[in-house]
Amino acid sequence: MLTVFRYFFGRARGAILGWGITLALLGLYMVGFYDTLAEQREMLTMLIQQYPPELMAFFGGAADLFTPAGYLSLEFFSYIPLVIGIYAVLLGSGLLIGDEENGTLDLLLAQPISRTAFFCGRLLGMAAILAAILGIVWIGFVLGERGTTMDVAALDMLYPFITLFAVLFIFATFSLMLSMILPSRTLTATLGGLLLFVSYFINSLAQLDENLRDLAEYLPLRYYQSGAAIHGLNGDWLLGLFGFGLLFALLAWLLFLQRDIRVSGEGSWRMPFFKTARKQPR
């Protein structure tokens, strides 16, 4: 299992550094502007009041821009699940099926390693990759905060990243589970990405439209604390997110145990209404 983990994690080092450093620089830059923004509070307040509420809803709603929690939410944590969530969906959807579709899984699973160990190694790898990216970004935020009057301790700054990690984990494991059911990685990633976007929009609009609030209760982003987490984590929400994430992972594992490993599309089911050529078994 550790070998699987080590090689999978090592393979993603480019993505970890790419996403991590880019977002860390964004954080460094953004946090550094906190004091400058505070100096122009009156003017910005007037400006924000002129924005349509629908627009503000997508950036954390009524969060106070001039508090650290509100600022962090509005400038980063409100929309970042959507950005990095796309990567999480791609990571989850390709965790096993990516290798199956490019034909490398066949040889790996012919080695003396159980499917459970392989699955766990990959799942841990996925979690570690997401954690490593967020860890790098967190360092950027901590460094950026040092030159400001934001006054958020490094540990407190970690909390929004933990809640963000939980959200990413749930989308990644949900995509992983979908990948065990749907016929292709592309379709899985498309559907997973669509669900991410729909969740984001429904959750954001639910702040304005009461009719959507009931629906939003069933979506993971409802339990995402965003920048407000610097004041402390909501343990129930966090447990709920991780619990569902692990449930999706458990279902994916059970499906993986039963799965016939395909050779470049062999044996996949056809989409209704789409006539695609199926490769014959050899």
Q: Residue numbers of the site for another protein (CB under 8 A)?
A: 3-4, 7, 11, 102-104, 106-115, 258, 260-261, 263-264, 266-267, 269, 280-282
Q: How far apart are CA 134 and CA 226, in angstroms?
A: 14
Q: Looking at beta carbons only, is 45 or 264 nearer to another protein?
A: 264
Q: How far apart are CA 175 and CA 88, in angstroms?
A: 9
Q: Looking at beta carbons only, is 240 or 265 nearer to another protein?
A: 265
Q: Looking at beta carbons only, is 182 or 229 nearer to another protein?
A: 182
Q: Looking at beta carbons only, is 3 or 186 nearer to another protein?
A: 3
Q: Shortest Cβ distance from residue 232 to another protein (Å)?
A: 42
Q: Shortest Cβ distance from residue 267 to another protein (Å)?
A: 4
Q: Shortest Cβ distance from residue 183 to another protein (Å)?
A: 11
Q: Looking at beta carbons only, is 50 or 280 nearer to another protein?
A: 280
Q: 219: Cβ–Cβ under 8 A, 6 or more apart, which residues?
A: 199, 202, 203
Q: How far apart are CA 233 and CA 161, in angstroms?
A: 10
Q: Shortest Cβ distance from residue 262 to another protein (Å)?
A: 8
Length of the chain counted residue by residue: 282
Q: Write the DSSP assignment of 46-112 as a string of letters.
A: HHHHHS-HHHHHTTTTT--TTSHHHHHIIIIITTHHHHHHHHHHHHHHHTTHHHHHTT-HHHHHTSS
- Contact yes or no for 156/230 (Cβ under 8 A): yes
Q: Looking at beta carbons only, is 53 or 103 nearer to another protein?
A: 103
Q: Shortest Cβ distance from residue 274 to another protein (Å)?
A: 15
Vertex 80: Cα angle to 16 and 179 (nearest 5): 65
Q: Shortest Cβ distance from residue 100 to another protein (Å)?
A: 10
Q: How far apart are CA 271 and CA 182, in angstroms?
A: 9
